[in-house]
Amino acid sequence: MKIGIVGATGAVGQELLRLLLRREFPFSELRLLASARSAGKEVTEGGRTWTIQEATPDAFSGLDMAIFSAGASISRELGPAAAERGCVVIDNSSAFRMDEGVPLVIPEINGKEASKHKGIIANPNCSTAIALMGLYPLHREFGLRRVIASTYQAVSGSGAEAIAELDAQVRAYVAGGESKPEVYPYPIAFNLLPHVDVFTEGGYTKEELKLLYESRKIMNLPSLRVSATCVRVPVFRAHSIAITAQFEHVIDLDQARRAISAFPGCDLVDDPANLRYPMPLDYAGQVNCGVGRLRMDSAMDNTLSFWVVGDQLWKGAALNAIQIAELLAAGDGEG
């Protein structure tokens, strides 16, 4: 297949390139696309070198598919133009996620929806993707009703500049100096920011509302109730999410653990007696998400509390997009 990456110089774009090579995706041509200021630069990975091309409508001519990771405004500008040229768009931004007729896909959950595309397929928000890897196998067993979630989101979710900012602030602190924040409104090193994305009138941020609306669409649960608090933490990579989920049916804890353990893309890491639980350091650069700390909630009936960890740059972005591309390449659209 002939494939393109839009936003190839960004943090997710770089991971897309690495994963395409690592997973031996079957491409005969790979075009790395970015802004005009990056055009002409060379990128080397896996012993091969590519020259960045400017992302223009005509840059998609002859491509079978393109994975977009350059922000919603670029996706809205170039996504339809790519689709008009016969190039299937797999979009990492929020531009098309809630559009009717655009599949919003996590391959392990609703992979069959990918084949129903009309030229554009949406990748979910990073927190949604990681949270649902823990929630969906439990929903299949017990019937999900409502979710309360608190996210602990790594700076990788804000891009390469945020990773550099955390690194600079930590180094400055150790050296007894100061590094002023630029990506975030306050220092992120040794701090927590209960603020991910833009605040809305109701007090929730857009990131928190994404977890609500995207979960409903992916799991086909239009009445699902979700309340989230999204927090940026001084972790370089991999998001963690504390989840309290209420179900329709009585919960068997052993059955819940078996469901998590058997679900593709999940690791059950749930042995607190031996201090075993998922952590960001363990899941950075990992394909699977880790689920642990499963316990019956002490405040509500038919409710489980648990902890999910996953790599934001992989399952939360690049890996999920490539898994969608692999479904299309296989020609069956099945998860």
Residues annotated catalytic, as ranges: 126, 239
Q: Do residues 133 and 308 lie in contact, with contact meaning Cβ atoms separated by under 8 Å?
A: yes
**Which residues lie below 8 Å from residue 88, measured CB to CB, with a gap of 6+?**
64, 65, 66, 117, 119, 120, 121, 328
Q: Point out which residues pair with 91 in neighbouring strands.
A: 68, 122
Distances, alpha carbon 256 to alpha carbons 40, 240, 247, 296, 309, in Å: 52, 20, 12, 10, 17
Q: How far apart are CA 329 and CA 88, in angstroms?
A: 11
Q: Do residues 248 and 127 lie in contact, with contact meaning Cβ atoms separated by under 8 Å?
A: no
Amino acid at 125: N
Q: How far apart are CA 159 and CA 152, in angstroms?
A: 16
Amino acid at 268: L
**Which residues lie below 8 Å from residue 229, measured CB to CB, with a gap of 6+?**
149, 150, 151, 194, 208
Tokens describing residue 77: 């500008």
